Amino acid sequence: MHSQDSVIKIYDRWGRIYDIFFKWIFSEGRDVAVDMLDLKPGERLLEVGVGTGLSLPLYSRRADIVGIDISSKMLEQAADKVAKNNLKNVELQVMDAQAMDFPDNSFDCVTACYVVSAAPDPHKVVSEIRRVCKPGGRIVFINHFKSHNRVLAKFEELINGVCKHFGWETTLDLDALLRANNLESEMTEKVNIFDYWRAVLCFNTKK
């Protein structure tokens, strides 16, 4: 498991070069997430782990967008995109997704792209997402989750140590994560190169 300080250091290092490596690799996933969210005018969206802000120009300008990230260096790049695209509907904040400052039921929908498996405690992130999302609100995750193929799952376990150095885990189990947080998948779609990542839509049926 990553420590919080190590996550910050890793993604601060990624800040200036992240787009070079990941803009094209993750582009399909960003498009699918926007489609799944079906963001409507006047709604308020939280993007958890907004990173360098690659998804921000894709959202409706008639909705209010709040993007948070633990890395100030990543947010510097996001702020540049906000300025260049004149995104007056976007607010950015440095914040720990495991302990958000927002009141309960603050957002109509929440998205977390490529962030849950990068957090020291994925369950805390999902729990916080549920807390700040309104009852019945839409939640979209895009992440790599542990494969159901036994051979591939074993391979993921073997490479997990290497992947941790780049800032993410390869062994996070989607079904266990959702079940532990009282969420159910309404729609799942494989995305990105080799269909190795999954976009998952849930509704926040609070219990």
Q: Quick: pLDDT tens for 84-123.
A: 999 999 999 999 999 999 999 999 999 998 888 888 888 9
Return the ∠ at Cα 166 (arms to 161 and 171), rounded to 5°. Answer: 45
How far apart (Å, rounded) are the C-alpha atoms in residues 141 and 33? 8
Could you tell me the two tokens for 125?
């992130």
* Cβ neighbours of residue 8 closer than 8 Å, sequence gap 6 or more: 70, 71
pLDDT tens digits, one per residue of 29-66 = 899 999 999 999 999 999 999 999 999 999 999 999 99
- Evaluate whether 126 touches 119 at the Cβ level (below 8 Å): no
Domain span at residue 59 reads: 4-203
Q: Tell me the pTM.
A: 0.83
At 84, which CATH number? 3.40.50.150
User: Which residue type, as a one-letter code, is found at position 192?
Assistant: N
CA 54 to the chain's CA centroid:
12
pLDDT tens digits, one per residue of 191-206 = 867 666 789 999 998 6
Residue 158 three-state SS = helix
Q: How many domains does the chain have?
A: 1
CA 181 to the chain's CA centroid:
16
